[in-house]
């Protein structure tokens, strides 16, 4: 049985996995989406172990290494690395809880993922994207406010879709975001985004308000869809892609690209790395440092173009 077929027919999870997932919710405050992702990764692992007549309590380092090698044949390095991270965390939990004396993942090599440098939009392209929203109807006002706010705050799409009206303080230019693990942070909002959001709330949102709210919490949502429900991540993603195509922007465009663009442009204009880290809600500054590579590449490119001796090749 292949790894993929095993993961498609998940069996009941071992009790250690259920305990670990419950711990993630109760002790670490992980979101339902995060826990669901861990469950999928660990289900594939446990199903593979079941075929080998093994379990997380009895598996050896050699067998985990064999699992990793089998996954390498079927999945991208990033997917294997993510699944391996879930497996390592499970076994560390088991050791900490006395469910196993040793950690079999300690001697298993990590999965190398090729470093991907974010490809941000240029500042001009961000302007083109926002200008591609045509009209003054409710949906146009919503889409313009959504794009402006994504770029202004560098927020994740889930954070923007989860916004409630009480999270906005447009007078002082601040927004409260709830990131991974429900961690709260305050992020400034620039004048362009403030104007766009204010216009949406004042002149557009009421047109999408339904006669009766279908779900609790929708009445407080900042962004609504055509049916008067809280805008979903998939629908917000489609807004970005649709207007990107209209603006003639080539390549892969997503809400995350706007997050990349916000961080890169701030660093280009002299923002402190720690400030950008706090604004984006990164737990580690090493995550934020990837954006400095983008800025350095731009610096080197401009240096080569502008410095009179950067491209000269002369003999001594």
Q: How many residues are there in the chain?
A: 316
User: Judging by beta carbons within 10 Å of its beta carbon (0-12, 13-18, 19+), is residue 246 exposed, middle or buried?
Assistant: middle
CA distance 198 to 168: 10
H-helix or E-strand spanning residue 188 = strand 184-188
Return the exposure string of 140-150: e unless at least 16 CB atoms fall within 10 Å of the residue's CB, then b. ebbbbbbbbbb
CA distance 46 to 21: 14
Q: Give the residue carrying structure tokens 């047109």.
A: 207
Strand order in the sheet with 168-169: 168-169, 174-178, 184-188
DSSP string of 268-289? Answer: HTT--HHHHHHHHT-SSHHHHT
Give the residue numbers annotated as catalytic, written as ranges. 156, 180, 256, 259, 282, 291
- The runs of H, that is alpha helices, within 116-182 are 123-131, 138-153, 157-161
Q: Which residues contact 207 (CB under 8 A, 6 or more apart)?
A: 137, 138
Identify the CA nearest to 78 among candidates 41, 44, 112. Answer: 112
H-helix or E-strand spanning residue 186 = strand 184-188
Q: How far, CA to CA in Å, does 102 sit from each of 17, 89, 195?
A: 17, 13, 57
CA distance 187 to 34: 23
CA distance 157 to 237: 8
- How many CA within 13 A on the CB side of residue 130? 19
């Amino acid at each position: 049985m292949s790894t993929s077929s095993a993961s498609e027919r998940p069996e009941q999870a071992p009790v250690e996995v259920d305990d670990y997932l419950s711990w993630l919710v109760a002790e670490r405050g992980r979101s339902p989406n995060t826990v669901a992702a861990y469950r999928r990764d660990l289900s594939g692992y446990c199903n593979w172990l079941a075929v080998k007549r093994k379990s997380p309590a009895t598996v050896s380092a050699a067998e985990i290494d064999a699992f990793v090698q089998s996954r390498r044949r079927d999945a991208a390095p990033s997917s294997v690395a993510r699944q391996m991270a879930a497996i390592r965390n499970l076994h560390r939990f088991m050791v900490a809880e006395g469910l196993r004396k040793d950690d079999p993942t300690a001697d298993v090599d990590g999965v190398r993922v090729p470093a991907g440098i974010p490809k941000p939009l240029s500042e001009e392209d961000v302007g083109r994207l926002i200008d591609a929203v045509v009209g003054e109807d409710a949906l146009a006002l919503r889409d313009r406010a959504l794009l402006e706010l994504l770029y202004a705050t560098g927020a994740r799409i889930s954070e923007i879709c989860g916004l409630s009206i009480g999270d906005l303080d447009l007078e002082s230019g601040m927004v409260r975001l709830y990131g991974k693990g429900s961690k709260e942070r305050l992020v400034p909002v620039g004048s362009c985004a403030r104007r766009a959001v204010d216009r949406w709330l004042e002149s557009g949102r009421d047109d999408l308000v339904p006669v009766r709210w279908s779900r609790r919490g929708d009445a407080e949502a900042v962004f609504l869809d055509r049916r008067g429900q809280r805008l979903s991540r998939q629908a917000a993603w489609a807004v970005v892609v649709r207007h990107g195509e209209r603006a003639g922007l080539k390549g892969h465009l997503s809400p995350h690209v706007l997050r990349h663009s916000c961080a890169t442009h701030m660093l280009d204009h002299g923002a402190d790395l720690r400030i950008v880290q706090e604004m984006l809600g990164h737990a580690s500054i090493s995550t934020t440092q990837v954006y400095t590579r983008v800025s350095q590449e731009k610096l080197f490119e401009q240096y080569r173009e502008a410095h009179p001796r950067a491209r000269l090749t002369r003999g001594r």
